[in-house]
Every structure is written in structure tokens, then in C-alpha cells.
Amino acid sequence: MLKKVLMTAIFFSGISVAVAEPVKFELDASHSQIIFSYNHLGFSTTTGMFSGFEGEILFDQENPANSSVKVAMPVLSMFTGWEARDQHFLSDDFFGATTDNDLIEFTSTLIEVTGENTAIITGDLSIVGVIQPVVLQTTLNKAGPFPFGPKAGTQTLGFDATTTLKRSDFNLGKFSPAVSDAVEIQISIEALQAD
């Protein structure tokens, strides 16, 4: 247990916190995105992305197990580069999304530090009303003050994470297995310490 706490402290060593209670970091939607990719009929790999993030990271330096991540994004933010495909994905064949209130949401349930700048974040992912556990392989890219502009000096976190989802787990498995059930997910986020 002591080893895990020490490794967690190292993982977040770039964060300067003045008080021994959770510190709130808010996601920067302009520098946060999810990229997804899947195999199409064995011929190609098709990609798309989600943006428009809202969310926060609560980090407790004294008790890292008390830290948490909560993120939400509108399904309608999805972009694949082909409008007809976007509309098909938003239809009842897949997401059935019609308003900005149709959200994809992730709430962490466990953070386990695995190295100097790596961790496994486990949480609940909600898509179109279906909730499934998800494990994110996460890397802390950088922690420190934002270097310039209006945000200069604001403590900032940058993370990348990856996972693989099965569409069928979320009732989105139409055309599987011709179109792969497995979807590769790449996540990149920035978060700034809240005022």
C-alpha cells in the first residue's frame, strides 16, 4: 500500500498544491478530444472524433485514492469527415441522438498508479443510456504552469489515454462483425486548475 501511495505522489509530483484537500481542475474543451477508429469491411480503418468536453479532475495530493475524474461530451459533437456517415451514426441505427442533452459520460471509480507517469483509470462509461465499466491506460504528459497568454501561470494537467470498446456492449453493434465490433479509442485532454 505504501509503495502505491509513493508512486501516486511521484505521478503527480509536477502539481503544486497549497492545501491538503482535493484541488479542482476543469477540462479545456479547446484542447481535449476523443478519436475513435474501427475496421470497415476489412478494407480500411475509419476514424472520427468527439469534442465539446465538459468535466473536472479532483486531485487529492495527500490521499490520491480520493482523486476522481468526471467527463461529459455531447454525442452531436461527433465528426467523421463525411456528413452522411455522421447522420447515419446519429440515427436510430446507432446513437439515436437528437439534442445536446444526449451525452457520453465517464465517471472514474478507481485510479491505480503503475509508473512514474502512468496509471490505470477505471470508471463507468455511459452511452445512450447503457453503462459499462471501462479501463483507461493513462499517461500524464505534463503537469505545471501554463506558459503564456491569459492562462499564464495557471497549473495545468495534460493526459493521454487509450482503451478498446466493443460497440455491442452499448447496443451499437449494427453491421458487426462485417464492420468491427471493436473500436479503438484515443483520448487527449488538458485541464486547468479552477479559480
pLDDT tens-digit series, residues 114-128: 888 889 999 999 998
Say what the pTM is: 0.86
Find the largest Cα–Cα distance for the chain: 54
State which amino acid sits at residue 175. F
Cα separation, 155 vs 56, in Å, equals 14
Contacts of residue 14, defined as CB under 8 A and 6 or more positions apart, other chains included, come to 140, 142, 143, 144
First and final CA of the chain: distance in angstroms?
33
Nine-digit cell string for 91: 440515427
String of DSSP letters for 7-30: HHHHHTTT---SSSS-EEEEE-GG
The DSSP symbol for 81 reads: S
Each of the 195 residues of the chain gets a pLDDT tens digit; together they read 444 444 544 455 544 444 468 899 999 999 999 999 999 999 999 999 999 989 999 977 666 667 899 999 999 999 999 999 999 999 999 999 999 889 999 999 999 988 888 899 999 999 989 999 999 999 999 989 999 999 999 999 999 999 999 999 999 999 999 999 999 999 999 999 998
Cβ–Cβ < 8 Å for 193, 23: yes
